[in-house]
């Protein structure tokens, strides 16, 4: 299974956004990175009836996708979940004309990742259908309480609890650590006082894996584990739980409200905690209207542009939003771009009870010391 995650077909999708260090090429993919062109196709023969039937199926698919796009647009979601199929053929006299897909190039890195993930998940689902995962989750180690693990150190120390990220690489930063031993890093984080760990499982863009998640889970680590994945399908929730995850990330920039509602319910059902990630006011307002969300992450990095600005955490917690969050007793996590004790103090002041940190601690020779440096003191006691 893991070889599939890192298999040739997926690793080889050419990407204009991906850091050169782990980029390969393959022409088998349906969505390419050709310069968007509007090509008029002119077939000289009229279509036989079977072709026309296929085309009307395509028309239906096109309509469904269009209406999905409309739902996304009304919620302010810019990310398209799949490459557009393009308009169906138009008949003009004895000729068939159609405009070739103009929009089948991802508009940004997040869109590219999501399109890849969709293909990847479809392949994985074929190999491991849901009913096999349902059996597997009964055998998985019982889930740990992610939110309780965050609240305890915050109540004890008054400092934000740390979710320390096991992260080898990212599309914006390239490889963060060459000598990457996920289990050693996880142990060092735990020793340094991390409350929970986040483990990147995306292979193509972050050089992570589910093997890492499983290995950390089986290495005697007691911190609850967040599976850091791009969830586009409920099947992935079951897969994450089967691999030992205690929590998963749901990205509001990718998932419409209905998916968030449905997925948070499934999470509850199978014992996973959902960390719902927002990046702007619109996403925050959408998520605050959804019942049952207990944990919200504010990402200081815009996943479409890679811009990092830690004042984003403050901005989204000001005024009525902050009030509503307190009323609902939601735990907020400040995510990304935190490097110094001043940064930690800044987001704490803004109202977060936990922080999610990768780069600044994973890059340190000794990540245990990296944590003490980040907080300006030893938080392990
Ligand atoms: O390495 P940083 O800047 O400390 O960031 C960690 C974490 O917040 C970041 O990896 C992250 C936040 N949300 C994500 C969604 C997908 C992938 C990665 C992320």
CA torsion sign, 126 to 104 to 84 to 201? Answer: positive
Alpha-carbon Rg of the chain, whole angstroms? Answer: 22
Which among 154, 80, 86 is positioned nearest to 117, based on CA atoms? 80
Count of CB atoms within 10 A of residue 66's CB? 12
- Number of the ligand 1 atom closest to the C-alpha atom of 202: 17
How far apart are the C-alpha atoms of 320 and 314, rounded to whole Å? 13
How far apart are the C-alpha atoms of 310 and 336, rounded to whole Å? 8
Question: What average pLDDT score do residues 339-354 get?
Answer: 98
Instruction: Say how many Å lie between the CA of residue 358 and the centre of ligand 1.
Output: 7
Place of tokens 């902050």: 322
How far apart are the C-alpha atoms of 357 and 338, rounded to whole Å? 6
The answer, as to whether pTM is greater than 0.95, is: no
Is residue 165 annotated as part of the catalytic site, yes or no?
Answer: yes
**Among 108, 165, 340, which is best to mutate for testing ligand 1, by the most ligand atoms less than 8 A from CB?**
165
The pLDDT, as a whole number, for residue 77 is 85
- Cα distances from 224 to residues 88, 219, 273, 299, in angstroms, run 48, 13, 10, 20
Task: Reply yes or no on whether the pLDDT at 18 is more than 60.
Answer: no
Is residue 204 annotated as part of the catalytic site, yes or no?
Answer: no
How far apart are the C-alpha atoms of 46 and 275, rounded to whole Å? 53
The pLDDT, as a whole number, for residue 61 is 62
Query: Per the structure block, which two tokens stand in for 365?
Result: 């020779």
**Measuring from atom 9 of ligand 1, which residue has the nearest CA?**
336
Identify the weakest region by mean pLDDT among 18-27, 64-73, 266-275, 369-378.
Answer: 18-27
How far apart are the C-alpha atoms of 225 and 214, rounded to whole Å? 10
pLDDT in tens, 93-142: 555 655 555 567 888 999 999 999 999 999 999 999 999 999 999 999 99
How far apart are the C-alpha atoms of 202 and 182, rounded to whole Å? 14
**Among 247, 336, 360, 374, which is best to mutate for testing ligand 1, by the most ligand atoms less than 8 A from CB?**
336
Query: Per the structure block, which two tokens stand in for 229?
Result: 């994945």
How far apart are the C-alpha atoms of 195 and 373, rounded to whole Å? 16
**Measuring from atom 17 of ligand 1, which residue has the nearest CA?**
228
Phi first, then psi: what are they for 323, rounded to 5°? Answer: -60, -45
The pLDDT, as a whole number, for residue 83 is 81
pLDDT bucket at 64, cuts 50 / 70 / 90: low
pLDDT bucket at 3, cuts 50 / 70 / 90: very low
Look up residue 379 and give its DSSP letter.
Answer: -
pLDDT in tens, 253-269: 999 999 999 999 999 99
Which among 230, 175, 204 is positioned nearest to 15, based on CA atoms? 204
Question: What average pLDDT score do residues 299-309 get?
Answer: 92
The pLDDT, as a whole number, for residue 266 is 98
pLDDT bucket at 381, cuts 50 / 70 / 90: confident
Strands (E), 252-381: 273-278, 295-299, 331-335, 354-357
Query: Per the structure block, which two tokens stand in for 130?
Result: 């849901």
Kindly name the residue from 104, 111, 116, 167 that is annotated as catalytic: 167
Mean pLDDT of the chain: 85
pLDDT in tens, 190-212: 999 999 999 999 999 999 999 99
Identify the weakest region by mean pLDDT among 47-61, 154-168, 216-230.
Answer: 47-61
With beta carbons less than 8 A apart as the criterion, state whether 112 and 15 touch. Answer: yes
Instruction: Say how many Å lie between the CA of residue 262 and the centre of ligand 1.
Output: 24
How far apart are the C-alpha atoms of 98 and 289, rounded to whole Å? 42
ipTM over 0.85: yes
Is residue 335 annotated as part of the catalytic site, yes or no?
Answer: yes
How far apart are the C-alpha atoms of 4 and 355, rounded to whole Å? 32
pLDDT bucket at 73, cuts 50 / 70 / 90: confident
Kindly name the residue from 112, 165, 214, 359 that is annotated as catalytic: 165
Ligand 1: list residues with CB < 6 Å. 165, 167, 228, 277, 299, 335-338, 356-360
């Amino acid at each position: 299974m893991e070889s599939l995650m890192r298999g040739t077909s997926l690793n080889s999708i050419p990407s204009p956004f991906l850091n050169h260090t782990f980029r390969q090429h393959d022409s088998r993919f349906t969505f390419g990175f050709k310069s968007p062109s509007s090509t008029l196709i002119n077939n000289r023969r009229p279509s036989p009836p079977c072709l026309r039937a296929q085309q009307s199926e395509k028309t239906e698919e096109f309509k469904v996708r269009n209406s999905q796009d409309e739902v996304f647009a009304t919620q302010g979601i810019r990310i398209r979940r799949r490459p557009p199929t393009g308009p169906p053929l138009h008949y003009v006299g004895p000729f068939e004309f159609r405009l070739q897909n103009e929009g089948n190039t991802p508009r940004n890195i997040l869109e590219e990742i999501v399109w890849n993930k969709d293909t990847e998940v479809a392949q994985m689902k074929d190999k491991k259908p849901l009913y096999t995962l349902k059996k597997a989750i009964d055998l998985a180690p019982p889930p740990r309480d992610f939110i309780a693990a965050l609240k305890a150190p915050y109540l004890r120390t008054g400092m934000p609890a740390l979710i320390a990220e096991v992260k080898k690489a990212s599309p914006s930063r390239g490889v963060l650590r060459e000598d990457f031993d996920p289990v050693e890093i996880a142990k060092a984080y735990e020793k340094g006082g991390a409350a929970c760990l986040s483990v990147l499982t995306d292979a193509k863009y972050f050089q992570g894996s589910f093997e890492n998640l499983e290995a950390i889970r089986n290495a005697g680590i007691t911190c609850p584990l967040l599976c850091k994945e791009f969830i586009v399908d409920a099947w992935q929730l079951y897969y994450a739980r089967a691999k030992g995850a205690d929590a998963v990330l749901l990205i509001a920039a990718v998932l419409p409200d209905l998916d968030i509602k449905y997925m948070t319910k499934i999470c509850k059902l199978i014992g996973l905690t959902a960390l719902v990630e927002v990046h702007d006011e619109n996403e925050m307002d959408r998520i605050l209207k959804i019942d049952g969300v207990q944990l919200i992450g504010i990402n200081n990095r815009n996943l479409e542009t890679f811009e990092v600005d830690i004042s984003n955490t403050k901005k989204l917690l000001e005024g009525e939003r902050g009030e509503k969050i307190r009323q609902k007793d939601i735990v907020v996590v400040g995510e990304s771009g935190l490097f110094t004790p001043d940064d930690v103090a800044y987001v704490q002041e803004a109202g977060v009870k936990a922080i999610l940190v990768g780069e600044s601690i994973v890059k340190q020779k000794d990540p245990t010391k990296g944590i003490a440096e980040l907080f300006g003191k030893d938080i392990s006691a």
